Chain A
Amino acid sequence: MEGVVAPEVIRNFSIISHVDHGKSTLSDRILELTYAVDPREMRAQYLDSMDIERERGITIKAQNVRVHWRDYVLQLIDTPGHVDFGYEVSRSLAACEGVVLLVDASQGIEAQTLANCYLALEHDLEIVAALNKIDLPAADPDRYADEIERVLGLPRDQILRISAKTGAGVVELLDEVVRRIPPPKGDPQDPLRALLFDSYYDQYRGVVSAVRVVDGTMRSGARLRFLQTGATHDVEEVGIRTPAMVEVDELGPGEVGYLIAGIKDVGEARVGETVTEVAHPATKPLEGYQNPKPMVFCGIYPIDGDEFPDLRDALEKLKLNDSSVTYEPETSAALGFGFRCGFLGLLHMEIVRERLEREFGLSLIATAPSVEYIAHLTNGGILQVDNPSAMPEPQFIDHIEEPLLKLTILGPAEYTGTIMDLCQTRRGRMQKMEYLSSDRVELIYELPLAEVVLDFFDVLKSRTKGYASLDYEPAGTQTDNLVKVDVLLAGQPVDAFSTIVHRSKADDYGRKMTAKLRELIPRQLFDVPIQAAIGGRIVARETVKAKRKDVLAKCYGGDITRKRKLLEKQKEGKKRMKSIGRVEIPQEAFISALTLEE
């Protein structure tokens, strides 16, 4: 077993880069160069362990790995690669003294890179910048070195040029990391303070947490106190990742490793937690802890109602290694029994849904994403509403507050007008516009979260041909003229289609939704009015006329078998229908209505 490593030889760093700019490939090259992974076992993107991560080319759960480089110990701390996980990124960065800023030499800085870079600067981290993919014909390292210098103030002659794919320049990069990133400080005799910056659930070991010792020493067998939750846990094992898990006796100041302490639920080992020792405790927690707060909500329902218990079990299990998901049982007249779930963001929502379907074999339907509104009632009460159908009727509401985002968009200057149009129609307020170069622009907007959650990313991507990138952070709340629009079928509200929108968009939403439903709802034995209403006031109306004909013309000797099968199919279909009052609607119609683009 290895003993404590002297802080002077340790370099803790993260790689920050945009999706697809080559972070995972660079990690792979580093593992190869340092002989951390047997070449025969090397598989592309070694550190991305979840299937979804490898498929999407993004990192969701951070991984960290210790390698040896010359006489030094390098701790590569991976960060989640998406804006939804901004808090996790900030905790990972808090475990580092420096970062490698990796920028695609054919694309330049993207919004998310910029945001994470600012985050690194806030943490006073040393930044080693590198332009990647210089082997590509489209690479223009001179141009983007200028951009990095101008935007981030990093001297252009210090910017390395590498190809993670071919390995060119990676040795120099590691040497530069050793030279420029400062070693950690800390006294091994001080009371223990360690930052917990990631946790995942292992079905055999329980919760495995990634920790960075800041002060003191974390010893095997010690009794620990988690300062934020107040709980105590006995260390079962501490160790390092090489990337295989290797048990050690203790971790000293500046060391990064893993901790197993008999914890069954990642909710008890939250990212940002400060870990100390009961016998020799520190009293002051490390800075920056937050309880991750869900920002986006949606109802998740099993398509087959019988799968509700399976969905509940799956959410329980999923929650063991993703404590940021919240879920509450919910009943919908349209969709049956399900859960109102909360997520850190849209990608997080997508990932959770995909994991539920893939890892637990469920078929699910999700309602349109919503945000959490604060309804100020006329009687002085305050109500938090994350499901639009739960919003009280207008006469009980004084005003409604909604969450805001600060949105940073980077894109080619030629799309400035397009981006501004989009933000304007989404009730955005421009905060700043800056040209990063003659052909690249940075726009900062304040925008209601609700306007972002539906399809903002998709629309932005398609209108800018994929060239714009986006980052956001919460920016408080605002009061606006918001109303709930209900959709009624034959007079019965369909909870799954209730939404909260700005008054100026309510009629439009109502018209679109009723028109869409008129196409999707099969004709019934009676006329079905489809109405959109704000409180008692109808703002849009369509009618599905009663069907007049549903009969086979011919039924002779050769038709009987076929006819019987058709009727069986029709009966099967009826069984799968959901009933809203007397109206029978196939599940597919709900799914289409909920998934159709604007």
Chain B
Amino acid sequence: MGEPGPSSGQQLGLYVHIPFCARRCDYCAFATWVGLHHLAGDYTDACLAQLSRAYDSGLGPAATVFFGGGTPSQLPGDELVRLLDAVRREEAAEVTVECNPEDVTVELLSTYASAGVTRISLGVQSLAPQVLTSLGRRHRPETVPRAVGAIGEVGFSSFSVDLIYGARGETDEDWVDTLEGVLSLDPPPPHVSAYALQAEPGTALWRDPERHPDDDVQARRYEIADEVLEAAGLPWYEISNWSRPGHECRHNQNYWRQGEYLGVGCAAHSHLGGRRFWNVRAPERYIAAVAADQSPVAGEERLDFDHRLLESLELAVRTREGVDSSALPDDEMLTGLVARDDDRVVLTLRGRLLANEVACRLRAPARVGFGGAGAIAPDLARATVSRN
């Protein structure tokens, strides 16, 4: 702890990690645990303790709050509310909770809404039953319309649906059906996140190369997603995110603008005062560390000025706002991957699929004259340098 609050004018995000899951999905490499629900009370206490120490050190109010996981909806509603109540928020703060469809009830959502939750992110993943099974998900497609109906009934400013494509057993038709099915839900989601299934080391999926997704298949599915979502009035605003204008996730946008955030809970990452740091991974260790009045931080890094500039570009290039054209020198290899418009460079559809190739060619330009998205507040950059 002991981190200074963000400099004035800088938006602060607050992420709360809820590591509990009813079941571990095959592909999941996140810090999640099954069968630890009995820790919910202690865990919430530990999060509250970390939070209160942060406020003691001068942390300001959050513009956005995000409960992610794991499965936040697996935490009893009153525990989540106990946590949220302790979070200092700006007026009109965006507060998102990730939910699994099978956990969603009108009652739970009402509890959330009355505590100030403004946005639900629903983990739908797919509407094809065999794909859900292949992903190791426990919900059935039928639970989705019911969950979305509950969201509509309780009423939130916005909500989003998470999808995953490229699992074995999924066809292009399944994928189109999922996208169209999601768009015809009542109410239709104003925001969709669609992720290429990735085989991460350490997961069950990783150990089964037969089921590893095929890049070409996933590229095609991505193109399908982009076409269908765009046509439905949800243009892309980040590689894996599409939304109706005005429904972008502000919390995530803060990440991509290299903004500051505090991560509360085990395995949560923070970015404050030019320092990136992350908490211990296991919930028990996190609880123990906080209870013993020790720092739960497991690791950290500080980048020098040039690397921070480059990082800001690598984040920004993934968004529709793009980067300053001086950051991406003309290169024959980039033909068809980027579109240049005045002083901005933005990824094309093909470029989004090859974003790493584009990112590898980014150059931090001269230290003046690049603003807009991806810019670092000059005072923050100075602070970083002086701290090194």
Contact = CB atoms under 8 A, between A and B. Distances in A.
Contacts of B356: 550-552, 566-567, 570
A551 B354 contact: yes
B67 interface: no
B311 interface: yes
Contacts of B350: 548
A555 B198 contact: no
B278 interface: yes
A558 B353 contact: no
B250 interface: no
A240 B239 CA distance: 80
Q: Classify the secondary structure of A's interface with B.
A: loop
A524 to B, nearest CB: 9
Interface string B345-358: 00000101111110
A358 interface: no
Contacts of A552: 198, 355-356
Interface in B232-260: 238-240, 252, 255-256
Interface string B275-290: 0101000000000000
Given A557-B15, A561-B276, A548 B261 contact: no
A549 B357 contact: no
A557 B261 contact: yes
Contacts of A545: 216
Given A557-B271, A558-B269, A574 B256 contact: no
Interface in A536-578: 545, 547-558, 560-561, 563-564, 566-567, 570-571, 574
Given A525-B333, A561-B269, A574 B360 contact: yes
B271 A567 contact: no
> Looking at A551, A556, A567, A574, which has the most chain B CB atoms within 10 Å of its CB?
A551
Q: How large is the interface on A (under 10, 10 to 19, 20 to 34, 35 or more residues)?
A: 20 to 34
B49 interface: no
Contacts of A557: 13, 15, 255, 261, 263, 268-271
A553 B255 contact: no
Contact of A558 (B218, B222, B268, B307): B268
A582 B195 CA distance: 31
B314 interface: yes
A547 B195 CA distance: 19
Contact of B216 (A548, A554, A563, A570): A548
B219 A560 contact: no
A564 B356 CA distance: 10
Contact of B215 (A525, A549, A571, A574): A549
A549 B261 contact: no
B196 A547 contact: no
Given A551-B352, A554-B195, A564 B311 contact: yes
Contacts of A549: 196, 215-216, 218-219, 222, 353-354
> Looking at B238, B252, B357, which has the most chain A CB atoms within 10 Å of its CB?
B357
B229 interface: no
A555 B359 CA distance: 13
Contacts of A550: 215, 353-357
Contacts of A554: 195, 240
A551 B239 contact: yes
B304 to A, nearest CB: 13
A464 B149 CA distance: 75
A123 B357 CA distance: 69
Contact of A553 (B196, B216, B307): B196
A419 B68 CA distance: 68
Given A555-B256, A560-B271, A547 B261 contact: no
A547 B255 CA distance: 28
B301 interface: yes
A549 B212 CA distance: 14
A562 to B, nearest CB: 10
Interface string B333-375: 1000100000000000010111111011000000000000000
> Looking at A552, A553, A567, A571, which has the most chain B CB atoms within 10 Å of its CB?
A553
A567 B356 CA distance: 7
Interface of A: 525, 545, 547-558, 560-561, 563-564, 566-567, 570-571, 574, 582
21 contacts: A525-B357, A548-B215, A548-B220, A548-B353, A548-B354, A551-B196, A551-B352, A551-B354, A551-B356, A552-B355, A553-B195, A553-B240, A554-B195, A554-B240, A555-B238, A555-B256, A556-B252, A557-B271, A560-B276, A567-B359, A574-B360
List of 4 A-B pairs having minimum Cβ-Cβ separation, nearest first: A548-B219, A558-B269, A551-B355, A553-B195
Given A549-B222, A561-B276, 4 more contacts: A525-B357, A548-B354, A557-B261, A570-B360
